[in-house]
Amino acid sequence: MDLVIASPKPVTVPVQGGGAFPVRRIYCVGRNYAAHAREMGFDPDREPPFFFAKPADAIVANHGVMAYPAHTKNLHHEIELVVAIGTGGAAIPVETALTHVYGYAVGLDMTRRDLQLALRDKGRPWDMAKGFDQSAPCAAITPAAKSGHYTKGAIWLKVNGEVRQSSDIAALIWSVAETISVLSGYCRLEPGDLIYTGTPDGVAAVVPGDVLEGHVDGLEPLHCRIG
Ligand code: MN
């Protein structure tokens, strides 16, 4: 059947070694590092993980410029390990969860913190605080066949050369395998899904002109400037 308007452009993330990964959905995990849960005012007891989403076209390519968004005076950085799903499944067992992973990348879950807290206090959805345009900078994906799977490894973020967030993947409350297992119980995962696995402590505001450099051991570093 003829389309009555032009199709949206496919969203892709480059893959180290060649090719591109088509993005279907972006899922994010909330409060997945104890020290970050504490800094947000919560008890980091191991309560079940919770999830929110961003639109696929919120991706900003590596070395891109993210425009400072409207409706915030407190735009926060959240550096995260991103998991790229290569094969789909529902209610995936923890034991086989990592076989669904295509690869890994460094991402930023950019957040209108002031709006998020206001929405949270009113019991309203977080979408406009988390899922806005350009809210998901992401570096190239490294295939798991090259990087291995992540149960540990340094993760850090520098802003203008100064370390703001620094932790280790080993500090994840819910591991990559556990996250895939629980999330796939709510929504069937499909090839092309990205999972932003949560941020360590040290989240803080950025301003126009700031340069963000994100790092996870073994992955392409993420570079993003706030416009
Ligand atoms: Mn986050």
Q: Distance from the CA of 6 to the center of ligand 1, in angstroms?
A: 32
Q: Distance from the CA of 199 to the center of ligand 1, in angstroms?
A: 5
Q: Distance from the CA of 30 to the center of ligand 1, in angstroms?
A: 6
Spatial contact of 144 and 105, defined as CB atoms under 8 Å apart: no
Strands 136-138 and 59-61: parallel
Q: Distance from the CA of 36 to the center of ligand 1, in angstroms?
A: 10
- Which of 10, 205, 12 is CA-nearest to residue 110? 205
pLDDT for position 140: 98
Q: Distance from the CA of 205 to the center of ligand 1, in angstroms?
A: 14
Q: Distance from the CA of 129 to the center of ligand 1, in angstroms?
A: 11
pLDDT tens-digit profile, the chain (227 residues): 899 999 999 999 999 999 999 999 999 999 999 988 889 888 877 788 999 999 999 999 999 999 999 999 999 999 999 999 999 999 999 999 999 999 999 999 999 999 999 999 999 999 999 999 999 999 999 999 999 999 999 999 999 999 999 999 999 999 999 999 999 999 999 999 999 999 999 999 999 999 999 999 999 999 999 99
pTM of the model: 0.97
Q: Where are the beta strands (DSSP E) in 33-116?
A: 50-54, 59-61, 64-66, 75-76, 79-85, 101-108, 111-112
Q: Distance from the CA of 48 to the center of ligand 1, in angstroms?
A: 16
Q: Distance from the CA of 139 to the center of ligand 1, in angstroms?
A: 16
Return the SS3 of 87: coil
Q: Distance from the CA of 78 to the center of ligand 1, in angstroms?
A: 6
- How far CA 120 is from CA of 34, 82, 165, 175, 178, in Å, comes to 19, 24, 24, 25, 26
Q: Distance from the CA of 76 to the center of ligand 1, in angstroms?
A: 10
State the Cα–Cα distance between residues 227 and 213, nearest whole angstrom: 15
- Which of 164, 153, 142 is CA-nearest to residue 211? 164
Per-residue b/e over 161-177, b at no fewer than 16 CB within 10 Å? eeebbebbbebbbbbbb
Q: Where are the beta strands (DSSP E) in 23-74?
A: 26-30, 50-54, 59-61, 64-66
pLDDT for position 194: 99
pLDDT for position 156: 98
